[in-house]
Structure 1
Amino acid sequence: MNILVINSGSSSIKYQLFKMPVKSPVCSGLVERIGIEGSFIKHSVYKGEEKVVLEKSGFILDHAEGLKQVLFLLSEGENAVIASPDDIAAVGHRVVHGGEHFSGPTLITPEVKEEIRKLFSLAPLHNPVNLKCIEVAEETFSQAKQVAIFDTAFHQTIPQQAFRYAIPDQYYNKEGIRVYGFHGTSHKYVSEQAIQYLDKKESKIISIHLGNGCSMTAIKDGKSVDTTMGFGPLSGLVMGTRSGDIDPSVIFHLIEHSGYSLSQLSTLFNKQSGLLGVGGSSDMRDIRKLVNEGNEAAILAIQLYAYRIKKFIGAYAAVLNGIDAILFTAGVGENDKDMRAAVCSELSYLGIEMDIQSNSDYSGGIKDISLDNSKVKILVIPTNEEYEIAQQCYNLWN
């Protein structure tokens, strides 16, 4: 059963084609820096032990353009992996916000698309992009089943004292205002990998997903019990363009004293803040270059980013009453050794002690980068949201 998985982020599209139930993909790829100077596509086709890599650079305006180029790579040329669009049985789409409507894999219908559209205001960087990619895929793979996998589903196990806000009941009961949590597919996948690696089903794990969007989840015995993102994906950690946690009084102040509209504030906190607002770029690689040049704004951005993560490690240690392991995953978590080191520094009181050389030598796969005597394991685990999505799609029919 051929299942194409589309995982569209705020500035990227990751994709993989699986011939389920085989875990290894037929092909995979990444469209990166969408809408940013330096856009490129890296497309890999797996032929037994051989991997054919195709790379293409050039400005990609938006996700619709990026996805159309991906679909061309899948079906055209000597490295095509499908003869026609009809070879795809299902397309699995990562959708960020499902509100309280969706708690599992969902076949996409006009009604489902309308619900996704209604949630645009709660995930303004992602749900519009997710819906656009769904619509492009519907046109291209007209015979395939389109399936939505929602980031919010994994966090449905969060207890009421963690997901409720301290506001009158009517706002939850009538308007559904609560913590939903995001990156659930990633947190679910890496925590399951960690539990298997540790051989410890009864476990206390803090999963740290660091990409353009960032979140942390406290996971007890494989279930989410708290997470940093809330009603929308704006809260919690410092991110590529999002501010993360901010005192609501700042919003009131800007409205009352500076004349900001709600639309301007949404743009400010969702698209102009975070690493971009403080350090000058939403891409951690660009920030690192600026840090190496001694740029003080970039140095501060790095410090803010690491500090917020450390603060939540302490909070979640309290929530879990201890920690067995912390997990680093996603683009920054897997690839930025300096950020991992900054986060884990001065946490020995919690039993978190990093092996600096092991951290520096990390080159892929699941790896323990903690010292032998560290009470808490520090694991780097590459996320595989695409396979998790494919598996959930496959399970709908098998």
Structure 2
Amino acid sequence: MQTAAEGHRSKKYILSINCGSSSLKFSLYHALSTNLEWAGSITRIGEAKAHLEIRDYSHYLLEHHDKHYKNFNSAVTEVIAWLKDKQEKYPLMAIGHRIVQGGPKHFEPVIITDELVKTLDEMVYLAPNHLPEEIATIKTFQAAWPDVRQVACFDTCFHHGMPSYVKDYPLPVTYKKMGLMKYGFHGLSYEFIMQELAKQFSPVAEQKIIIAHLGNGASMAAVKNGFGVETTMGLSPLGGLVMGTRSGDLDPGVILFLLKQAKLTPDELDGLLSTKSGLKAIAGISDIRELLQAEPEHPLAKEALTMFCYTATKYIGALAAAMGGLDMLVFTGGIGENSAIIRERICHELGFMGIELDKSKNKKNELIISKSTGKVSVRVIKTNEELMIARLVCSVFNYAIKQ
């Protein structure tokens, strides 16, 4: 039997907001059950033809159109207008935001206050390509719904417990006091995957697991006995694997070369490493699907794909070594969930570790894609950062989720 408070929650909704580098995802969940009502996205923000799409829980198309959104604010404003038009049908209880970075002191999900927003403003130098849009989005939603509480869900929380010898850089402590340390990202995705694994596989807390979140932005995390102990991204989402438009790890001498010899300004260097590097720098194409289509006739597309898969393979080996072994490898993210050929290429040289893919299962995107004879279980699990945000919102308010 529902309590009065639960009855009130059953009539309200949680809105999850996920700002990407050029996309905005937004999903509405029932506040009592966190069951999905509808989910939407605006992609290619800033380009000539961006695309808005909203589908309900049964995947029925509610809204879609192409339009030029010159910046994030115009995209957020359109989402708010769509919601305002339906606010009697979808009254909001809370709004949760994915926040990429909160510095060394803010990592656990927390109710957003003016003081927190001020602190995030002061932390922009740690994530200049993400925080400004996220902060602006928070303020725009605050203006639209001043009486609805908002929650910040930090992407760094999952990695906060990494040991000091992983988090700390071998630099003078002065810089650590300025916030210079390894934070790690994609934490909401990793937390969601671990929750899903716990449902599917009860002894997950005793396993050595690598989660490969592969998308336009890509990273991996090593999870030992239920805790994140290492990850490929560091101070920023630029490090680690080669990505669509990001460089991944570089020798520090490369940065010095670009500053001294190429005479780049810090802003120019940021733009180069964030939007003009990675797969795009090699082949002129950043999208894996387009690269795979171009590969037969385009040697540089083949080169880009080879580098992407090689670095992924290399980091799986490194993370397994960091844990002293490997029991499970999980692929997630847009590429990890959908590209059988990329998964196959990444795992091809890992037989010595006990990774053996079943080609038929892999091609069908089954949950378990490894052979029964393989020592390492290889899985494909769809991530859901927006649902994770809704769950964290409930945890902040100490709301039990009723299934």
TM-score (norm 1): 0.92
Question: 2:77 aligns to what?
Answer: 68
Q: Deviations over 1:279-303 (max 9, x none)?
A: 21333233333225x2222221111
Choose which of 140, 144, 151 in structure 2 pairs with 1:140.
Answer: 144
Paired with 2:270 and 2:218, the residues of 1 have a C-alpha distance of 18
Paired with 1:37 and 1:246, the residues of 2 have a C-alpha distance of 32
1:31 maps to a residue whose letter is I
Question: 1:320 aligns to what?
Answer: 323
Determine whether 1:42 maps to 2:42: no
- Residue 319 of structure 1, CA deviation: 1.1
Question: 2:159 aligns to what?
Answer: 155
Tell me if the contact between 1:122 and 1:233 (Cα under 8 Å) persists in the aligned partners: no
Structure 2 portions without partners, runs of 5+: 1-8, 399-403
Paired with 1:134 and 1:206, the residues of 2 have a C-alpha distance of 33
Choose which of 10, 13, 24 in structure 2 pairs with 1:13.
Answer: 24
Q: Which moved more, 1:66-75 or 1:1-10?
A: 66-75
Paired with 2:372 and 2:107, the residues of 1 have a C-alpha distance of 40
Q: Deviations over 1:192-247 (max 9, x none)?
A: 21233222121111011112211110001221001111111111011121101001
Choose which of 26, 48, 71 in structure 1 pairs with 2:37.
Answer: 26
1:83-102 superposed matches below 5 A: 83=88, 87-102=91-106
Determine whether 1:383 maps to 2:387: no
What is the number of equivalent residue pairs in this alignment? 386
Question: 1:214 aligns to what?
Answer: 218
Task: Report % sequence identity.
Answer: 36
Question: 2:269 aligns to what?
Answer: 265
Choose which of 97, 104, 108 in structure 2 pairs with 1:104.
Answer: 108
Paired with 1:195 and 1:353, the residues of 2 have a C-alpha distance of 23
Question: 1:372 aligns to what?
Answer: 372
Tell me if the contact between 1:280 and 1:287 (Cα under 8 Å) persists in the aligned partners: no
Question: 1:129 aligns to what?
Answer: 133
Paired with 2:388 and 2:156, the residues of 1 have a C-alpha distance of 14
Tell me if the contact between 2:331 and 2:381 (Cα under 8 Å) persists in the aligned partners: yes
Paired with 1:42 and 1:337, the residues of 2 have a C-alpha distance of 26
Choose which of 184, 189, 192 in structure 1 pairs with 2:187.
Answer: 184
2:231 maps to a residue whose letter is T
TM-score (norm 2): 0.91
Paired with 2:105 and 2:169, the residues of 1 have a C-alpha distance of 19
Structure 1 portions without partners, runs of 5+: none
* Root-mean-square deviation (Å): 1.8
Choose which of 333, 336, 339 in structure 2 pairs with 1:330.
Answer: 333
Paired with 1:156 and 1:169, the residues of 2 have a C-alpha distance of 18
Tell me if the contact between 1:105 and 1:147 (Cα under 8 Å) persists in the aligned partners: yes
Choose which of 99, 119, 126 in structure 1 pairs with 2:123.
Answer: 119
Q: Secondary structure at the match of 2:33?
A: coil
